[in-house]
Structure 1
């Protein structure tokens, strides 16, 4: 019979536990069963007697654990109860699992809410309305992304969002990772375009959404892009006559604040001219490399090309001081001129010195020798505010074109003369020899230009008192309350009448502030009307004008009486310098960013003088597949465009087969300039083909200068094709034919020359010498392009009987 073990009662909580259990199933405490069940039968001698067991008090179960368990029953009912109630996990474990689940859920939720960890970059391209770059930047920065902005040129409107650099929309990144928002500056010429080859430049500019035209310019670096419009790194502006600062590409993270002449969000400027670029070619003229070069280096370069060199100083931006701003003849244009004038940017001191005129033929005296800063030719040009208000300073109509110096200017707006008849800096009616900057006298002494500040003033110096609109000068009349009356109109002796109603009226007054002029000293002297309005300072790195604005004065200040209290003439005109001092009426406006009319720096390249150029892209861009210009045929091009293409070796516009009506002989002209004749010796003494190149000009023809030459191209084979033979020296070719015995050979064949005549040129309209009637030939058909072989200018002229018409 099996011995039944006695259940154990936990001494901590009183729970009934299995007989063999070491730990309480209820509270986990250590049970005493294992030790107490061991019988100690012997006690060592001298050992302490057994200590009787001390009953422990019952420990109530922890809060939340339920009622205290029942004590063990010897009948074993607790075992049956255990069988009926399976063991449950401790509630603490359940609680811990719940906490873990809550923590995991919190991590997932907060992660998806971007409260920690990586974050998803928003989508912008899928928006219904294209956002601006500023909107995208604000959104990213509002979401605490590390975002900045960069600008580049594109066909999109200025301010438009183009893309993100560094990440993709929707990508998860850490907030510390840098994101660059790319903003459109509208169409323009990306920085670094100059120096590229033609193909690369075409690819760079092909997607700007505006026409792109190519030109050629004289250069020491042929085959490379040497000039662009707008300038390298600048935006394309509207050609509306206004001057606006061009934007430059920036790699900084912040918006650079550069004014590109259009408002953010405006459509890209609609410029019919589009973008232009020039490829360098070898030739005679001032090379493009002269532009922006220091004076000494530019002079050396021009002299090495055989030019006599002259210099003229002009106002210029600070970065062009001491450098070539432009030249005559024009930079980059082919020219046979032997003399070149360099226009060098100058600061206030050097500019004033260059404007000095000394009266020739005037005997110097103790007081006067006539030296004044009165050559105003350096001020000719367009001057504009940053807001786009422009005036032009131009020589007066009385100034002979090309005459130096220019002493009188006038203002124009939109090409029309406005304001005073003339502006100068020689007060009153005195002659120039009466003035000298070293010993200034009279009103001249109080002009700004005679001081040391470098500031100049030009104005209507002949401001007499006005009777109505008539200046009070001469005799035989008087002013009757503002109305001119002759002495004869008076009932009595009109000479006895005193003038009444004479006034001084405010007229044009301009102040010129070149770079480095001390305008601050002029301001401190009290010269200007001070305004309480907060305005920015004028840009001291650009030369500018200040133009007196009558609208800033009260009506009583714009017109004042010219008569003294006793009816006599007043001595002082308050609007101009006089013998008594500077103008009594202070000048308004004072210098500021808003009032300054900045000199518009002329382009060093006169693109209009370069011909029509070659259109390589239209508004839709270039050939999308190749990023190369689509080749055109002559029917779609002007003669200038054809000449430009042929000049760079592209004969595609005029390539084809040309045949004579009379003989049936044909010439084939390939895209590369190779011409092939019908038989050996026809185009070259020993071959059926040779290669043509364009000549700089068409040789003398049978027609007057002008239209015919302007609509023709002269093509010639190389000099090496020259062939000669005589009885003494035998045969030879090339340059040897032109020297020694060969020069007098009996048979010299010159290289092939062909003249291309464009469609639409009716030679019969230019036959001033009646050659067609004289030789009995018919003028060529003007509706078909043709080639003519001049045959050393032997007659007859190009005729239907001897030209090669384009067949296919």
Structure 2
């Protein structure tokens, strides 16, 4: 309640005029102003509160937006990094495969050389890596045929290996056995050689190819003037013939074929053969397809063996009685190597089988052609024969032929022979380990044969120096003087599956060949005296007993032989020529 300032009457606070005197209520304006002020303040406060609230509301979304922006920025950075990494990777790949590769690209030159080895040498001189493969071709042996898989003028990476194809010379194509002549005519004619076709008795379908010369996949080397390649096709077989299709059969199958044609008496003998013929028939006696069974008591079948059988087929078991009382292995005949062995140049070794001086055994002698025994073939060849080939050295008893065994060290005469090792290779040679008197191999014959200052004398050529009993009567100072050790024919047989790397690492060879031999075929190496500075050494006169020197040219109990030369190479080794048929026995029905 308030009072009028003019008359003092009471009135309500919000009255504009006094009800008694009618004058304006001064408190009304003040109250109104206060209310207005209060309302204004409230409004201001409300506005401030609303603005503050609005600002707070605005702050919250802004805060979220900022967080969201931060996350978005982070993700964008990660994506950018990934994109850059991908671009970098693509760039690297492009650089490696395009830029860098292109910078290392080289052009394969046109080959102008006619010789494959010369072509390979020229390519190597230009920085290319080169390998050589050999294939049958009508071009002569050693000729350049082509580059395999790459054309001259094309661009290749500098690290690409170039394959040069070298000709083995013409020969018998692979995979002809079992086909007909019509099926292989074009391929055979492409070799440019004359081929004679024969009909041979066999049990397979008539007209089927059963054998060839040379063997399928081998180059042709003429063994004599007028020699040609041959193909045998099957014809009907009767019971008087050893069927030609025994070739390549396993032993059990061969027995069944023999029984099929009524042959029940036969024996098996080993022959070192190519990998495809191990434990399979490689020939026979009488020869395959020949009709002369009435002349023999039983048929001999020859089967192929490899290095795992070397000791088994070239030695035999013996029992030593007395102080040794042991089982040993001693050498026997060399018949398993019988046959023709030729090098790539066409030079051949003819090892012909003949009786050994050991009863019941056979060995070989080196001839100049098939059938040339350099002996009449009826008499056994003796140690004293100049053509005698031996795997061991001279001794007057069995001791010289006993394989060395660490368990029996006293039997050491073959200690340094390959045959006593486990590589599967074997040496054989002329002259044993005997000295020479002049040009003659000098075997011990006390008093009957004497080397006098290098001259080989006996009662026949120098009777004045021998008594009536044929004994030397000259001075002992003159006896056995002028002796030397000479380098004679020396061979190494390397059957299929020989541990050849082990042999090379042992230092057995003098140097190393350029081209590895074909280890799928057995081969023989022949020592070449022209590759040595010394081919003979003098034996001091008057030396006897344990001090007597041994030959440096063959393995002995004291030493290994001088390193073998030439080093084995595909061009100098002699491969076994597997020719099971005697082609001269069969009529020619066609010539390709």
Q: TM-score, normalised by structure 2?
A: 0.57
Residue 453 of structure 1 and its aligned partner are, at CA, apart by 2.0
Matching of residue 586 in structure 1 with residue 563 in structure 2 = yes
SS of 1:444's equivalent in the other structure is: coil
Residue 191 of structure 1 and its aligned partner are, at CA, apart by 6.0
Cα deviations by residue, 1:690-748 (Å, 9 ceiling, x for unpaired)? xxxxxxxxxxxxxxxxxxxxxxxxxxxxxxxxxxxxxxxxxxxxxxxxxxxxxxxxxxx
CA distance, structure 2, for counterparts of residue 315 and residue 482 of structure 1: 41
What's 1:597 paired with?
574
Residue 553 of structure 1 and its aligned partner are, at CA, apart by 1.1
What's 2:307 paired with?
348
Cα deviations by residue, 1:389-429 (Å, 9 ceiling, x for unpaired)? 22222346x758x9741246345479586994211123213
Residue 484 of structure 1 and its aligned partner are, at CA, apart by 5.5
What do you get for the CA RMSD once the two structures are aligned? 4.8
| Residues 483 and 299 of structure 1: CA distance in aligned 2, closer, same or farther (over 3 Å) | closer
SS of 1:545's equivalent in the other structure is: strand
What's 2:269 paired with?
312
SS of 1:443's equivalent in the other structure is: coil
What's 2:392 paired with?
426
| Residues 228 and 424 of structure 1: CA distance in aligned 2, closer, same or farther (over 3 Å) | closer
Residue 551 of structure 1 and its aligned partner are, at CA, apart by 0.9
SS of 1:449's equivalent in the other structure is: helix
CA distance, structure 2, for counterparts of residue 574 and residue 291 of structure 1: 43
CA distance, structure 2, for counterparts of residue 184 and residue 452 of structure 1: 35
Matching residue within 240, 244, 257 for 1:301: 257
CA distance, structure 2, for counterparts of residue 328 and residue 212 of structure 1: 25
Matching residue within 578, 584, 587 for 1:608: 584
Would the aligned equivalents of 1:197 and 1:224 in 2 still touch at CA under 8 Å?
Answer: yes
Matching of residue 551 in structure 1 with residue 521 in structure 2 = no
What's 1:527 paired with?
508
| Residues 320 and 334 of structure 1: CA distance in aligned 2, closer, same or farther (over 3 Å) | same
Aligned residues: 414
Residue 516 of structure 1 and its aligned partner are, at CA, apart by 1.6
| Residues 567 and 546 of structure 1: CA distance in aligned 2, closer, same or farther (over 3 Å) | same
CA distance, structure 1, for counterparts of residue 453 and residue 486 of structure 2: 15
What is the 5 A alignment of 1:751-770? none
Would the aligned equivalents of 1:409 and 1:424 in 2 still touch at CA under 8 Å?
Answer: no
| Residues 562 and 274 of structure 1: CA distance in aligned 2, closer, same or farther (over 3 Å) | closer
What is the 5 A alignment of 1:102-251? 194-195=177-178, 213-227=196-210, 229-230=212-213, 237=220, 239-241=222-224
Residue 315 of structure 1 and its aligned partner are, at CA, apart by 0.6
Matching of residue 392 in structure 1 with residue 345 in structure 2 = no
Matching of residue 280 in structure 1 with residue 235 in structure 2 = yes
CA distance, structure 2, for counterparts of residue 158 and residue 522 of structure 1: 28
Matching residue within 475, 483, 486 for 2:447: 475
Q: TM-score, normalised by structure 1?
A: 0.43
SS of 1:394's equivalent in the other structure is: strand
CA distance, structure 1, for counterparts of residue 500 and residue 566 of structure 2: 13
Matching of residue 536 in structure 1 with residue 515 in structure 2 = yes
Matching of residue 376 in structure 1 with residue 334 in structure 2 = yes
What is the 5 A alignment of 1:546-695? 546-554=525-533, 557-563=534-540, 571-576=548-553, 580-583=557-560, 585-601=562-578, 603-610=579-586, 612-614=587-589, 616-617=590-591
SS of 2:550's equivalent in the other structure is: coil
Q: Which has the higher helix share?
A: 2
Would the aligned equivalents of 2:419 and 2:425 in 1 still touch at CA under 8 Å?
Answer: yes
CA distance, structure 2, for counterparts of residue 152 and residue 519 of structure 1: 26
CA distance, structure 1, for counterparts of residue 551 and residue 565 of structure 2: 14
Matching residue within 499, 506, 513 for 1:518: 499
CA distance, structure 2, for counterparts of residue 410 and residue 272 of structure 1: 21
Cα deviations by residue, 1:277-318 (Å, 9 ceiling, x for unpaired)? 424324223434332122333333334444334322211111
CA distance, structure 1, for counterparts of residue 190 and residue 521 of structure 2: 33
Would the aligned equivalents of 2:485 and 2:539 in 1 still touch at CA under 8 Å?
Answer: yes
SS of 1:345's equivalent in the other structure is: strand
Would the aligned equivalents of 1:383 and 1:598 in 2 still touch at CA under 8 Å?
Answer: yes
What's 1:444 paired with?
414
Residue 327 of structure 1 and its aligned partner are, at CA, apart by 2.6
Residue 189 of structure 1 and its aligned partner are, at CA, apart by 6.2
What's 2:287 paired with?
330
Residue 434 of structure 1 and its aligned partner are, at CA, apart by 6.3
Residue 482 of structure 1 and its aligned partner are, at CA, apart by 2.9
What's 1:752 paired with?
none
Residue 512 of structure 1 and its aligned partner are, at CA, apart by 1.3
CA distance, structure 2, for counterparts of residue 152 and residue 371 of structure 1: 43
Would the aligned equivalents of 1:381 and 1:599 in 2 still touch at CA under 8 Å?
Answer: yes
CA distance, structure 2, for counterparts of residue 498 and residue 156 of structure 1: 57
CA distance, structure 1, for counterparts of residue 344 and residue 140 of structure 2: 24
| Residues 422 and 160 of structure 1: CA distance in aligned 2, closer, same or farther (over 3 Å) | closer
Residue 545 of structure 1 and its aligned partner are, at CA, apart by 1.6
Q: Which runs of 5+ in 2 are unaligned?
A: 1-113, 117-133, 146-165, 376-384, 467-472
CA distance, structure 2, for counterparts of residue 160 and residue 535 of structure 1: 17
SS of 1:537's equivalent in the other structure is: coil
Cα deviations by residue, 1:655-713 (Å, 9 ceiling, x for unpaired)? xxxxxxxxxxxxxxxxxxxxxxxxxxxxxxxxxxxxxxxxxxxxxxxxxxxxxxxxxxx
